[in-house]
Amino acid sequence: MKVRARDAKELWQEEFEKAPVRDDGIETSTISGIPLKPLYTGDDLPRREEELPGQFPYTRGIHPSGYRGRLWTMRQFSGFATAEETNRRYKYLLANGQTGLSVAFDMPTLMGQDSDAPTSRGEVGHCGVAIDSLADMETLFEGIPLGDITTSMTINSPAAILLCMYIAVAEKQGVPASKLGGTLQNDILKEFIAQKEFIFPPAPSMRLVVDSIEYCAAEVPKWNTISISGYHIREAGSTAVQELAFTLADGMAYVDACLERGMHIDDFASRLSFFFDAHIDFFEEIAKFRAARRIWARWMRERYGAQQERSWKLRFHTQTAGVSLTAQQPELNIARTAIEAMAAVLGGTQSLHTNAMDEVLALPTDKAARIALRTQQLLAYETGAANTIDPLGGSYFVEALTDEMERQAEAYFKRIDEIGGVIPAIEAGFFQKEIADAAFRYQNEVEQKRRIMVQAKATNALNRLGKAAAGNDNLMPYILDAVRAYATEGEIMQAMIEVFGTYTETAVV
């Protein structure tokens, strides 16, 4: 039997090599540069005990019941101008059954500046609410019972201040801190690595993060103290492997810092959560999410000696990739986002934000925002993607890719360790350089058309066709050019219709 199987594979190999190959840019690697084989077989399957959902190392998901037990949370993040307007919006959302609120702050607030600071000019109230003092926070949550809802606050350098303001508003409502639930992004390391909204140097910044984790563990136990974010690292141009490795390395750096403070791993590990990007390279993304869970579980149990299962489980929120969207033909962004969202779901995300098609240009229109949310509902209720737990588990390709992501991430951990840890690596510019190199490589690839983005590049060919149709040239070369540029049949017909018009048969009765 075994011999025959080998013969069959050799036969396939021969036939594959003889077969004609497309010449329009076949990719032989993922967008992160992981080499791809044309075919994966049982030979690529790792030898290991069968993995199962809800069981260590959680490659196949942290819940034994997957999405059969509970769907992912559809969490759309958005910003509004003033505290009053946002408050009105919150009340509307709460009246319509939503229980979780999300606060987007404006740039001066994110950078720890008051609205009247000279460097705040032109920035106040853009893309989020401006909070200067407790008075603004009181306005923001006026009439909203903080004991009954959860609030997610996307803020980092001044996170401790905003959390204190939230606690103070609750105090005035008579709600004890122990009853407050919510999430603080509070991930300063990725600010140094990617988003660059840092203020203090790394050491005191880390001290504030640990202060908040320690304080919340004792006083605000239901609060998710940190959302360790790969999203910004990826959006800054990193590869999937870098996103995975740098984010988990950040996570471990926070764990190390808390342990150094004298906390016990099981007292805070389960309140750490993660935030990843879902990019357009479908299988690579799924492998990334699966690898993330496995790596984290191993490190938590084996390196940090966490005893409780909940400390081993990596929970994460996902947002589809803003950088994969294009300003031309924004409708195509709906398709991109849907595919990215599917990757997040097949990767087992706990919550998901789908980008609106026009998000690349400005604040989404109502229609675009609705389509984005509907995309998630469609995934949940129409595609069947939520019916089977980790449906790609056991796929030759996805399992091999998951292992490869893990291997490459571990190699990065080693390099970071050699530099002396995350903070020395930040100070030496290691992450920043790795990411900038990857971004530059990717951009150049895009421009050399190696990474074909289906875009408006057919437009020029169509315009030329239209002009030729108005004249007397033979149209064949123009049509051929349009075809080569991947213009669709309908687009080519439409270009000619605009010149020729359409014919309506004379009615003959």
Partner 1 sequence: MAGFTGAPGTGKSTLVDAVIALLRKQGSSVAVLATDPNSPFTGGAIMGDRIRMQRHALDGKVYIRSMGARGHLGGLSLATREAIRLLGGFGFDQVILETVGVGQSELEVAAVADTTVVVLTPNLGDSVQMIKAGILEIADVFVVNKADIDGYARVVAELRTMMNMAPKREWRPPIIPTIASRGEGVDKVWDAVLGHRKHLATSGKAQELVERRLRDETAEVAAELARERARRALEDDPALAERLLNDGTPYRTAEEILDRKG
Partner 2 sequence: MPKTATKPVRIVVAKVGLDGHDRGVKVVARALRDAGYEVIYTGLRQTPEMVVDAALQEDAQVIGLSIHSGAHMTLFPAVVDELKRRKATDIVVFGGGIIPDDDIAVLRKKGVAAIFTPGTPLQEIVDWLRKRFPES
List interacting residues with partner 1 (CB under 8 A): 201, 418-420, 424, 427-429
- Residue 436, binding choice from partner 2, partner 1, none, Cβ under 5 to 8 Å by partner class: partner 2
The CB-of-418 to partner 1 minimum distance in angstroms stands at 8
Q: Report the residue number, 107 or 468, with the smaller CB distance to partner 2.
A: 107
DSSP string spanning 399-449?
Answer: HHHHHHHHHHHHHHHHHHHHHTSHHHHHHTTHHHHHHHHHHHHHHHHHHTT
The CB-of-424 to partner 1 minimum distance in angstroms stands at 5
What tokens were used for 35?
Answer: 């080499």
Neighbouring C-alpha atoms within 13 Å toward the C-beta of 44 = 18
- Residue 496, binding choice from partner 2, partner 1, none, Cβ under 5 to 8 Å by partner class: none
Q: Report the residue number, 182 or 202, with the smaller CB distance to partner 2.
A: 202
- Residue 236, binding choice from partner 1, partner 2, none, Cβ under 5 to 8 Å by partner class: partner 2
- Residue 327, binding choice from partner 1, partner 2, none, Cβ under 5 to 8 Å by partner class: partner 2
- Residue 374, binding choice from partner 1, partner 2, none, Cβ under 5 to 8 Å by partner class: none
Q: Report the residue number, 51 or 359, with the smaller CB distance to partner 2.
A: 359
The CB-of-419 to partner 1 minimum distance in angstroms stands at 7
The CB-of-429 to partner 1 minimum distance in angstroms stands at 6
- Residue 284, binding choice from partner 2, partner 1, none, Cβ under 5 to 8 Å by partner class: none
- Residue 420, binding choice from partner 2, partner 1, none, Cβ under 5 to 8 Å by partner class: partner 1
Q: Report the residue number, 114 or 418, with the smaller CB distance to partner 1.
A: 418
- Residue 302, binding choice from partner 2, partner 1, none, Cβ under 5 to 8 Å by partner class: none
DSSP string spanning 108-168?
Answer: HHHTT--TTSGGGTTTTTTTSB---SHHHHHHHTTT--TTT-EEEEE--TTHHHHHHHHHH
Cβ–Cβ < 8 Å for 145, 172: no
The CB-of-165 to partner 1 minimum distance in angstroms stands at 30
Residues with Cβ within 8 Å of 130's Cβ and at least 6 positions away in sequence, in order, are 82, 83, 105, 106, 108, 109, 115, 124, 136
- Residue 188, binding choice from partner 1, partner 2, none, Cβ under 5 to 8 Å by partner class: none
Q: Report the residue number, 163 or 189, with the smaller CB distance to partner 1.
A: 189
Q: Report the residue number, 66 or 108, with the smaller CB distance to partner 2.
A: 108
Q: Report the residue number, 157 or 354, with the smaller CB distance to partner 2.
A: 157
- Residue 111, binding choice from partner 2, partner 1, none, Cβ under 5 to 8 Å by partner class: partner 2
The CB-of-415 to partner 1 minimum distance in angstroms stands at 11
Nearest to 188 by CA among 207, 216, 161: 207
The CB-of-250 to partner 2 minimum distance in angstroms stands at 16
The CB-of-431 to partner 1 minimum distance in angstroms stands at 12
Residues with Cβ within 8 Å of 298's Cβ and at least 6 positions away in sequence, in order, are 57
Where on the phi/psi map is residue 121: left (φ > 0), alpha (ψ -120 to 50), or beta? beta
Helix/strand/coil for 236: coil
- Residue 201, binding choice from partner 2, partner 1, none, Cβ under 5 to 8 Å by partner class: partner 1
Read off the DSSP letter of residue 355: P
User: If you search the block for the tokens 């080499």, which residue do you land on?
Assistant: 35
Residues with Cβ within 8 Å of 439's Cβ and at least 6 positions away in sequence, in order, are 236, 237, 238
First to last CA, the chain: 73
Q: Report the residue number, 57 or 202, with the smaller CB distance to partner 1.
A: 202
Helix/strand/coil for 388: coil
The CB-of-358 to partner 2 minimum distance in angstroms stands at 11
What tokens were used for 50?
Answer: 């069968």
The CB-of-32 to partner 1 minimum distance in angstroms stands at 25
Query: Distance (Å, rounded) from C-alpha 431 to C-alpha 233?
Result: 9
Query: Distance (Å, rounded) from C-alpha 186 to C-alpha 454?
Result: 37
Q: Report the residue number, 25 or 201, with the smaller CB distance to partner 1.
A: 201
The CB-of-114 to partner 1 minimum distance in angstroms stands at 20
Other Cβ atoms within 10 Å of 87 Cβ, number: 19
Query: Distance (Å, rounded) from C-alpha 255 to C-alpha 238?
Result: 23
Query: Distance (Å, rounded) from C-alpha 159 to C-alpha 226?
Result: 10
Q: Report the residue number, 149 or 236, with the smaller CB distance to partner 2.
A: 236
- Cα 7 to chain centroid distance, Å, stands at 43
- Site residues (vs partner 2, CB under 8 A): 107-108, 110-111, 113, 118-123, 126-127, 191, 195-198, 235-237, 323, 326-328, 360-362, 435-436, 439-440, 443-444, 447
